[in-house]
Amino acid sequence: MPVIQKEPSGCGIAACAALAGLTYDTARSHAAELGIHAGDRTLWSNTAHVRRLLRALDIDTDPNERPFTGWEDLPDRALLAIKWRLINGVPFWHWVVFVREAGESVVLDSKAALKNNVRRDFARMKPKWWIEIGPA
Res. 63: pLDDT tops 80: yes
The percent of residues above 90 in pLDDT, for the chain, comes to: 85
Task: Report the SS3 class of residue 19.
Answer: helix
pLDDT tier for residue 56 given thresholds of 50, 70 and 90: very high
Res. 4: pLDDT tops 90: yes
Q: Are 127 and 95 in contact (CB under 8 A)?
A: no
> Who contacts 14 (Cβ-Cβ below 8 Å, separation ≥6)?
2, 3, 4, 5, 24, 27, 95, 110
Res. 5: pLDDT tops 80: yes
22 CA to centre of own chain: 14
Report d(CA 18, CA 135) in Å as an integer.
14
Helix and strand element counts for the chain (H, E): 3, 6
User: DSSP states of 98-113 as a string?
Assistant: EEEETTEEEEE---TT
Alpha helices in the chain (DSSP H): 11-20, 24-33, 48-56
